[in-house]
Structure formats: structure tokens, C-alpha cells
Structure 1
Amino acid sequence: MGKLQTLTSGRVASFTSAVARWPGSAAGERPRPDRITARQWTARLVLPAALALWLLSLRHVRLTEMRDYGLLQVLPVLFWVALGLLTFGFCLALTDRRTAGGWFAGYVLGLVAVIHATPTLLYPTLRYSWAWKHVAVVDAVIRHRGEVPHADKLALYNQWPGFFDLNAFFLQATGLDSALGYATWTPPVFNAVLLAPLLLLYRTVTRDRRLIWGAAWVYYSCSWVGQDYFAPQAFAFLLFVTVIALVMGQLPTSALYGASDALKDRWPVGRFVLVMVIAAVIISSHPLTPLMLISALVVLSLPRRNRRAVLPVLAGTVLLTVAWDATVARPYISENLNDFLDALLKPDTNVVSGLASLGTAAPGHVVVAWVDRGLSAAVFLLAAIAFAARPWVRRTSLPLLVLAPLPVLTANAYGGEMIFRAYLFALPAASLLIAALFLKPGSRPRLHVLAAYPLLLALLAGLMFGYYGKEAANYFTKDEVSAGRFVAATAPPGSTIVSLTSAVPGLYLHYDENTQVQLDEQDIGDRRRLVNDPVKGLAGFVQRATPQEPAYVILSRAQAADIYQRGVLPGDTVQRMDSALSKNPDYFPVYRTKDAVVYRYQGARSGTGS
């Protein structure tokens, strides 16, 4: 017994000593009740002023003028002034150790609002075609009271239905008609809610409020990937950060570890059950996030001191994932097993993946892509510099979490998006490392923070390119929405719905009843035939059309913008198809506005359609 007490006392003293060397661990961190200084008054006045300027800047934005750079080229100067002022006020707040957490929260949530609520406030309809697709899946789940039959390529969602089932339950419990009503606000709400687990994660590493809130600011300044819309990935990522924060708080090196928590790395039953429930929801909602979670838990278990806390969660997560994949997700796993094995044998192909292009990507789109890569590289470079320059971060598990997504990156291409997802999952940990660079503890914090102001502006500039630069194709007008709803309301079951790209709102509203054909996903030969002769190029996709089960071809402004940006087809494809179909007697327009046209085809009458 005496030996156990000696070991425990030594262990607590060692960890307490280590924590005491971390920034913000010393006593006296709470704000003192001194008089409010001029600097504090300035920081408090800048926040409402910046938000007021932001709202004023949104009054006269001409969305129809978006081209290569999306929202970047139509937002007024006042918007950028407001963003710069908001960043300056946040830096000013960081220079004072007495700044209360409420003001930091106001600034970070203000940043979330400026970045993520701007499209919501400006656009008349739901942003991004995949968000529309997920709304359609929820509606189908409600119609069929569970698994959706005849789901075709969306059958994947039947095997990871957690997100959709939860939304269906919410709609039925509240009496709402569709998720469309609240899906519009998903990006700002998701990012605001994500702040809680981010803060929980950062508090396991340091008690310095300035460092914690600085890391949160860096995260939102660099999260350009855009996986925050109405989607299973956003939901699963939120839960992923929550699990990692709870596990990090259980580690013996956590900044929350104290003398009263001598055996803290032994899980309380209730907390362990909570973590396993969250892991189960992740596993049932998204195929990729469980792999990222397992990878993160594996690297966290590498230090021997962490294993007592991490291994039970790792074992439970692996067991639940294997059980799910062997039962509910077995059809998808079995069908794609060979592709998974090929990806493991060719890891280099997982980093870069995509379709061959028949056109040329827009110059602005190329610039946006390079800025995205530059920002991503800068994040990892700054994190590496922090690892070298700030010895205290090496005693944390943050560097391990930054590297955790790399094994998954080499395992599968995930439709060409794996490199972006790896960046997304590494960003929470990398953000605190970066914050540690410009919040170096010392006698001159004001100089360090104000010197970092240009860096924070540069990170935000990179984010704006990645997050706003493609909005010409993500934004839908009311006319485009009306065209999609027209097809959904009039197309008989068994119809074929043809589009050039996925940039069509409501394209999948009845995906369980109709066949969807997306021409930019077809092989290179089919796309070449379409470019050479639109009518003959369509023939193979609409050949089964009859008067009872016709085919509909949707052409729209957003599809033209999407094609122009990515160059997957020649930039004038929409115009050429519209011209060719309007001259062919077998295709007749049944809906036309300035932004969209719908052609109906029900079989060749004169032989010209074949």
C-alpha cells in the first residue's frame, strides 16, 4: 500500500510539474477586477462595429456577376474592411491577459458568422447540390419509413443511414415538412456548435485562455475544405472531434489532470459508455470517419503512458466498426473490396485522382486550386515550425493527431477527395500548434500578437479563396430551383433524368423512382461523342424513353458555371446542347426560364434522335 501511494504521489507530482510548465498553467490566469483600460474598450467596441459593417456590406451584392472567383469578386470593399477590423479587434483582445472568455467567444462566433452566414443571408435558396441531394435522401427515408429501395448509386446511404435516420426522426417529431427548411443554415450552425468540442480539446492541452481561443480562430481561418454543409461528413466530423477531446482529457498528460485525478486515465464507466455511443453513431453515419477515428486512436496509443486510457476506446471502436461493416455495410464492402485492395497496393494514386478533362479549367479556378494547396501546405509547415520552436507542444499528443490521417490517406482515394479530408481531420490539432507560435509566453505578448496580425489576415485570405472561389456553381437561382421541382413534380416513375453535372437543385428529389444520369461522370468516349454531336451523344442514355417513361434533360446556369470552372467539358457545352436540342423535333422544351431549360424526350419520331 505504501509503495502504491509513493508511486501515485510521484506520478501526480511529475504530471503536475509537466503541466505547470505549459502556457497558462500558473495561478492568476483569471482576469483581475482592475479598471477597464483604453485597449480593452477598443477591443469591445471593435466587435460590434465590425459586425455592423459586415451586415451593411451585404445590402447590395450582385450575385449574377459571379465568375471565376465566385463571391470574391462581388463582395464589396466594406465586407473586407469588416473582416480586417474583426481580425484586428481579436488580436487586440489577445494582447491583454485580462480579456474575459466571453469577448473571445464573441469574436470567434463573429468570425463564424461572417464566413459561413454570408452565403446563407445572400442566397435565395439552399447552397450546394450535395446538400440538396442529402435533403432528398431524408425525404425518401421518411417516405419508405427506413431503407430506400431502388436507390441505385445512392444505396450507399442505406448502409450508413445514421445521419438520415436522425433527421427523419427530428422531422417527424417536430411536424416539419422537409429538412430543406433548416438545411440552409447548416454551415453557420454547424461551425458554431463545433466550437464547443474544439474548446474542450484545446483545454486538455493548455489552460491559457488566449492560446485556446487563438487556436479556435486559426481553425476557422484555415478550414477551407467546405465539409460543413448538410451532410453526414459534417455530422460525423463534429462527433469525431468530440470523441478525441474526451479521450485527450483522459490522458495522464492532459492539462486537466490534477492531484485529485491520480487514476484519471482509468475510464469512469459512464464516460466510457458515452464515448462508445458517440463512436457507434459515427460508425453508422459515415464510412470514412470511423477509419479516421481508429487511425487517431492508434497514434494516440503509441506512447506507453497513454495506453490505459486509449486502448479500451480503440478496441471498442474497432469492434463496432468490424461488426457494422460485416453486417449492415456488407453489400458495399463486398462490392468494392477489390478496389480497396488495389488502393492499398497503389497508395500514390490516392493522393491525386479525377476525371480526364475535355475542356480547359477557368483561369480563376486554377488560381483558387493553387491557393487551396498553398494554404494547406502553410498550415502543415507552420505546425512543423511550432513543433521545433515550442518544446512544450512535444509533450502533448497534438503532433500525433496532426499525423494521424496520413495512413488513411494512403489507403483509399475516396473519389479524389482523400487529401482534402486528411487536411480536415488534421486541422484541429494543427491549429493549436500554429497558435502557439504567435502566442509565445513572455513579457511582451502585445508585440508577438500584433506581429502575427498579417499572418492571420493571410490565412483568412487563403480561406476565402477556397471557400468562396467556387460559388458561381454552388449558388442556385429561384429559376433553377423551379426547374428542378418541375421535373420532380411531372416526371412519371421510371423516367430518366439527365444533367451535365451535379449542379442542379432538386435533381435527386425522387431518386428512388427515376434514373439519374450525370454526363460529366461518364467515360471519356461517351463525353467525346456528346461534345462532337449533342443529340447523338445523348442517344445511348435516353434510348429506353417512352411516352409513359420519358427522359428529361436539364440545362442550367449553374451547370454552365460548373463546366466552365472545372473544364471537364468544353465551356460552351450547355449553350451548344441547348441549341442542338431546340432544333431537334424529338426534344421539346417543357420548361424554360432565363436560368434553366428542361427538354422532354419520349422516343424518336423521325429517326433524328437516334
Structure 2
Amino acid sequence: MVDQQIAGAAGPADPPAQRRPPSALLARAAGGRGPAAWLTVGALPAAIVLWVLALRGARLDRMGDLGLLQVLPPFYWASFALLLAGFLAVLYRPRIPQAWAAAYVVALITVIHATPSVLYPTLRYAWAWKHVAVVDAMLRHDGTVPNAGGLEIYNEWPGFFQLNVLFLRATGLHSALGYASWWPLLTNLLLLGPLLLLYRAITDSRRLVWGGVWLFYSISWVGQDYFAPQAFVFVLFVLLLALVLGRMAEARRAAETAAEGQPASTALTARTPWLGWYAMVVVVLAGIVVSHPLTPVMTISVLAMLCLRRRNRRTVLPVLAAAVGMTFAWDVTVARPYLSQNIGGLIAGLTAAESNVRPPNQLKLGTVAPDQVAVGWLSLGMSGTIGLLALISLIGHRWVRRTGLVAVLFGPLPLLLGNGYGGEMILRAYLFVLPATAFLAATVLLRDGRRPVLHRALAAVAATVLALGMFGNYYSKEALKYFTPQEVEALRLVTTDAPAGTRIVFATGTALPGGEMHYDEDRTRIVLSQLPEEEQRRMLADPLPVLRRELTYPVVAGPSYLVLTRAQIADCRLTGVLPEDTVRRLADLAAGSPEFRAVYTGPDAVVYQYVAPSTDGPTGVAPAGGIENQPQPEERQP
């Protein structure tokens, strides 16, 4: 009887799902029938299958001057092509549920940012290793790290690191190394929510919202999504923009409603109560201020530019006041030591606008790989194209100029002209304007005109070209960002396992997986490529005297090591920081000299201990247990 009642309640108009023909299920899932519906439903799983097959066929030992671009098989690019085709089918069919657009964007993020995490056996990128070392040190010291040396700045902006310490204590994990490899994927997925809030505050057009999101991930090539405070606070920055621009949009709609004679609602009473909204803003600002030195200033600059329009001030001025007050309070208390030591450089940057917008004038005694020169021009061309599309949008769409995106687009300009930020300001400026430029580009590329088929074809071509440019920039330096287990083991033996007072000499300093581990335990790290130019040239002409001096003077209590790795060779070749053969020359010198003893050897890494007696320094002593007796993992040939 009960079964009959349930069947009767369902009624003949609602047959069981298992009896529906496949075409009906497809039509219901994709919002219609026809080729577009089949493409919507079929392209996504097919793309995922091709991506998995591509990962299984990738050969890391083929990585050269173009990084992963030389490793990924055709299946990978076919996967991306299917994702783009399926997404465009979703974008131009309003009846297709928006969940499909979200699924395709998540798949795009996964295909781009999970690929290195799946392929690489160790954490990618030396700076991510450095930040793991900081988290581990703060975990061991339960807060501020003493004897931090050159990493003292992280004690003064510890928000990101302390949040990770809190997570480690709550979960019982011993190190951030276990999840840092997945940080690019995680942070880009977290960014999706604030981006949607931001774009929906600007327009109700589903096509522009999701098209802007797709373009954002297709042109985000600067690589600031690794395990770092910058990635964390950028998510907060976009969330803050969404909250502020959303409130401005509510105020604008309320004013328009009042002008039409309808019941008026102001920004202070619309939807979220003003105090609740302001509390959220202050919490987000606090996370930014305590975690990163640059982003609070960038935030203040954007908010100040938003205040140039009088009608925005009621919403933005309280936020700007909070940002200025919190940043000032933090800088004159916790961050005062860093600012007082670097105030001269900050002031000098205000009068060096021309040099601030150019790449850093780094000493390069070698030759940059030709492929990397081409990639540099590619990034320049891609940035110029995106900027041109943004300007076309601002000129051609009056409604866009009322949204606040102009302030987001030009807000970083004063900082770009006022400080070089170690040569990275132009990259950081590109990152901070990216939410605006992606949306503005979407308004140009995704418009419909008298020839919709032609416009859609052009949009598909433009999206493909921009994405390929992103892949070229994002993946091309993987040879120095990827580390083999042997390289990680070699660094661990001279940092984590070596005694306090150890001296470590490296050829280059930007391709070391864990060189900063236990940086608070009185270890001296010397990078040959960072010596004065005269000393570098002397080292290249006759390495042994320079190595003797750096390995023995000043006197240290522990042993001295020379560490040479595959990634350092790639660093020399790709960046030209030293001649390409420098690492091999140093290795051959140490192998043939009685003053050095190999304590770790392998195809991808070698560690030499300096053992010759010297009147200028102590004789090296091997760590307890004998570093040379440590197991050497099997590894691919470089």
C-alpha cells in the first residue's frame, strides 16, 4: 500500500529517471538539445580523461629550456582544447545551467595548476621551500624566530605563517611540506569565490561574469600562487574589492530607484547591515595588514583612487580610513625594525620611477638561453595585448567606467612608479590589475554584433592565443623550479641533518630546495653568484682560491660544504646569472682536488666537504653518524 501511495504521488507526468531516454537526460542536464548540448556534457569528462592520460605519458627527463612545454604530450593540449570548446558552448547558450560553467572553470584550474603537483615528486619552487622553512621555524619556536638573519622580515609580517602554524597544531601535522605542493591549486580554487562576487557586483551578465573568470585564469602567468603570503593576501585583496564594489553597486541602484520615485534603500540599509559589512571589511583588512608588506599599500592606493569620485566616498572612505589606520599602527610597532632599516631605499625609490618599471638590472656573467629570451618577449606582448583590450573596453563602454574598475586598473600605478620592490614591482602590479583587465577584456572579446558566428569564432581564437601565451610563461622555467628527490636529500643533509655552525656554499641561490631549513641554527650560507662582481670574475678565472676563502673564513664551529645540483645548472643556463658550465667546472675541480671529499654523490646532486687543513680556518669535521653513509635515492637522469 505504501509503495502504491508513493507511486501515485509521483504521477504520470514525472516518470522515474531510469526510464528516461538518454537524449532526454542529456537535454535536461545541458539545458537543451542539439550539438551544443552534446558538447557541453561530453567535452568535460573527455578532457579529464585526456589530461590523466597526458600525465601518465609525461617524461620529466625530457625537460629542457622550455620546461614542461617539452614534457607534456599532445593529449594535454587536446584536453585544454576540449575544455575551451565546451566552455564556449556553455557561455553562448543561456539555457545551460551555470553549474556547467563552474565545472569547466574548476577543470581549467585543475589542468593548469594540479599538473606540476601530480608530476613532481617534491615541492616545486625554491621560494615555496623557503616559506615552508619559516613555518617550521615558527612552529618549533612557538612564535617569533630568534636569530632569523635575512629572514627577519617574516617575523614582522607573520600572519600567513602563524595561520599555517595554527593549522598544523590543529591537525597534528609536523610540517607544511605535506600540503604546500598543492597550494597553487588550492589558492586558485579559493580565489574563484571572490572573483565571482566581484564580477557579479559589476554586471548581471552571465556571459561576462564567467567569461571574465575564464580569462583571468587564462592570463594569470606571473606565478604568484605558490606557497607564499602573496598568494594568501591576494585572495583577501580580491575579496575586499568584491565587498567594496558590491556595496558601491547597491548604493548606485538605491540612488537610481529613489530617482524613479520608488521606495528608496541606501547602501547603509540594503541587504547586509552596514555594521556587519564593515566588520567583514575590517577582518579582511587585518589579514592583509599582518601578512604582507606590499599588499596593504596597494590596497590603500586602490581605495584612494576609488574615492576620487564623490559618490563613492560614503562607502569607500570608512574602508580607506581603516586601511590607513591599521597599516600605520602595524608599521610603527611590529614592522618598525624593518622599515627603519630600509627607509633610505624606500625614499630613493620615489625618485627612480624609470628604473622601477624596468626589470632588475641583475649582474649576468653568463648568457640567457635563447628560448627564455623569446619567452620574455612573449610575456611583454601578452601584457601589452591585455592592456590594450582593457583600454578599448574603457573607451567603448561607458557603463564600465562607472563600476570602479578604473581605480582597480590604475590604482597600482603610483606604487609602480614609486618603488621597484626588488625588481618585482612590475610583476606585482600586473597581478593586482588582473581582476580588472580580465573582466574588461571579456567585455571586448565576448560581445555579440551583427555577425555573431564571426564574433564567437574570434573570441575562441583570442582565448586560445591568450591561454597558450599563459602556458608559455607559466611553464617555461620549470627546469629550475622542479627538484628531484636527490637534490632535496642533498640539501637536507647539509641543513637539517648537519650540526649548528655549518657553512654551506652554493653556486646560485634561486634553485635550492630547502636551503633555508633550520635557518635559525647558526648556519652560514654563501651564494657565489651573489658575491661582488670582481669576486665573481675572479672565481670564474680561478675558482679554487675563492672557494678556499669562502669555505674557511671566517672561522665557524662546524664543517664546510660545497653543494652543486642539477637545478643550479638550469639556473645558470636559463637566467645567465653565471656561465652555463660554472657548476660542472666547480664539480670537476672538487672531484680532482685532495682538499674536497665527496660525501653525497648522484646524477642530480653532489656534496663536497672541505677537509684540507688551513691556517685561515678549521679543518672540516663530518657530522655525527657520517653524512656519507646516508642512503641515496634512485632518481631519473637529468
TM-score (norm 1): 0.91
Name the stretch that deviates more: 251-260 or 136-145.
Answer: 251-260
Between 1 and 2, higher relative CO (CA 8 Å, sep ≥ 6) is seen in 1
Distance in structure 2 (CA, Å) of the matches to 1:188 and 1:338: 38
Cα deviation, residue 36, structure 1: 3.4
Q: Please name the residue that 2:541 is paired with.
A: 532
- Bigger Rg over Cα: 2
Q: Which SS does the other structure have where 1:516 is aligned? A: strand
Deviation string, structure 1 residues 15-37 (Cα, Å, up to 9, x no partner)? xxxxxxxxxxxxxxxx9996434
Cα deviation, residue 391, structure 1: 2.6
Q: Please name the residue that 1:109 is paired with.
A: 106
Q: Where does 1:8-407 land on structure 2 (aligned, <5 Å)?
A: 35-252=32-249, 259=257, 262-264=265-267, 268-352=274-358, 353-407=360-414
CA pair 594-307 structure 1, distance change in 2 beyond 3 A: same
Distance in structure 1 (CA, Å) of the matches to 2:31 and 2:554: 78
Cα deviation, residue 256, structure 1: 7.2
Cα deviation, residue 265, structure 1: 5.3
Q: Please name the residue that 2:530 is paired with.
A: 521
Unpaired stretches in structure 2, ≥5 consecutive residues: 1-27, 258-262, 620-638
Cα deviation, residue 575, structure 1: 0.1
User: Is residue 357–residue 568 contact of structure 1 (8 Å, CA) maintained in 2?
Assistant: yes
Cα deviation, residue 340, structure 1: 0.5
Distance in structure 2 (CA, Å) of the matches to 1:178 and 1:169: 11
Aligned residues: 580
Cα deviation, residue 450, structure 1: 2.8
Q: Which SS does the other structure have where 2:422 is aligned? A: coil
User: Is residue 92–residue 450 contact of structure 1 (8 Å, CA) maintained in 2?
Assistant: no
CA pair 379-33 structure 1, distance change in 2 beyond 3 A: closer
Q: Where does 1:410-425 land on structure 2 (aligned, <5 Å)?
A: 410-425=417-432
Q: Where does 1:528-567 land on structure 2 (aligned, <5 Å)?
A: 528-544=537-553, 548-567=557-576
TM-score (norm 2): 0.87
Give 1:511's aligned amino acid: Y
Find out whether 1:471 has 2:474 as its counterpart.
no
Distance in structure 1 (CA, Å) of the matches to 2:409 and 2:166: 36
Q: Please name the residue that 1:4 is paired with.
A: none
Distance in structure 2 (CA, Å) of the matches to 1:333 and 1:310: 28
User: Is residue 204–residue 255 contact of structure 1 (8 Å, CA) maintained in 2?
Assistant: no
User: Is residue 545–residue 602 contact of structure 1 (8 Å, CA) maintained in 2?
Assistant: no
Q: Where does 1:483-522 land on structure 2 (aligned, <5 Å)?
A: 483-501=490-508, 502-513=510-521, 514-522=523-531
Give 1:562's aligned amino acid: D
Distance in structure 2 (CA, Å) of the matches to 1:254 and 1:427: 25
Distance in structure 2 (CA, Å) of the matches to 1:344 and 1:97: 50
CA pair 152-447 structure 1, distance change in 2 beyond 3 A: same
CA pair 538-34 structure 1, distance change in 2 beyond 3 A: closer
Cα deviation, residue 587, structure 1: 2.0
CA pair 423-33 structure 1, distance change in 2 beyond 3 A: closer
Distance in structure 2 (CA, Å) of the matches to 1:461 and 1:416: 26
Name the stretch that deviates more: 392-401 or 309-318.
Answer: 392-401
% identical aligned pairs = 48
Q: Which SS does the other structure have where 2:350 is aligned? A: helix
Q: Which SS does the other structure have where 1:415 is aligned? A: helix
Cα deviation, residue 45, structure 1: 1.0
CA pair 36-232 structure 1, distance change in 2 beyond 3 A: same
Give 1:99's aligned amino acid: I
Distance in structure 2 (CA, Å) of the matches to 1:554 and 1:354: 27
Cα deviation, residue 84, structure 1: 1.5
Distance in structure 2 (CA, Å) of the matches to 1:318 and 1:405: 16
Cα deviation, residue 603, structure 1: 5.9
User: Is residue 203–residue 255 contact of structure 1 (8 Å, CA) maintained in 2?
Assistant: no
Cα deviation, residue 448, structure 1: 2.5
Cα deviation, residue 389, structure 1: 2.2
Deviation string, structure 1 residues 313-363 (Cα, Å, up to 9, x no partner)? 001100110111101000100000000111001111111223111010001
From 601, 607, 610, the equivalent of 1:601 is 610
CA pair 595-34 structure 1, distance change in 2 beyond 3 A: closer
User: Is residue 196–residue 209 contact of structure 2 (8 Å, CA) maintained in 1?
Assistant: yes
Distance in structure 2 (CA, Å) of the matches to 1:187 and 1:89: 24
CA pair 391-405 structure 1, distance change in 2 beyond 3 A: same
Q: Which SS does the other structure have where 2:495 is aligned? A: helix
Distance in structure 2 (CA, Å) of the matches to 1:180 and 1:242: 27
Q: Which SS does the other structure have where 2:202 is aligned? A: coil
Cα deviation, residue 253, structure 1: 6.4
Q: Please name the residue that 1:575 is paired with.
A: 584
Q: Which SS does the other structure have where 2:558 is aligned? A: coil
Give 1:585's aligned amino acid: P
CA pair 256-519 structure 1, distance change in 2 beyond 3 A: farther
Q: Please name the residue that 1:27 is paired with.
A: none
Name the stretch that deviates more: 154-163 or 260-269.
Answer: 260-269
Distance in structure 2 (CA, Å) of the matches to 1:189 and 1:225: 17
User: Is residue 354–residue 415 contact of structure 1 (8 Å, CA) maintained in 2?
Assistant: no
Q: Please name the residue that 1:409 is paired with.
A: 416
Find out whether 1:586 has 2:595 as its counterpart.
yes
Distance in structure 2 (CA, Å) of the matches to 1:569 and 1:522: 11
Deviation string, structure 1 residues 420-446 (Cα, Å, up to 9, x no partner)? 000000010111111011222567655
Unpaired stretches in structure 1, ≥5 consecutive residues: 1-30
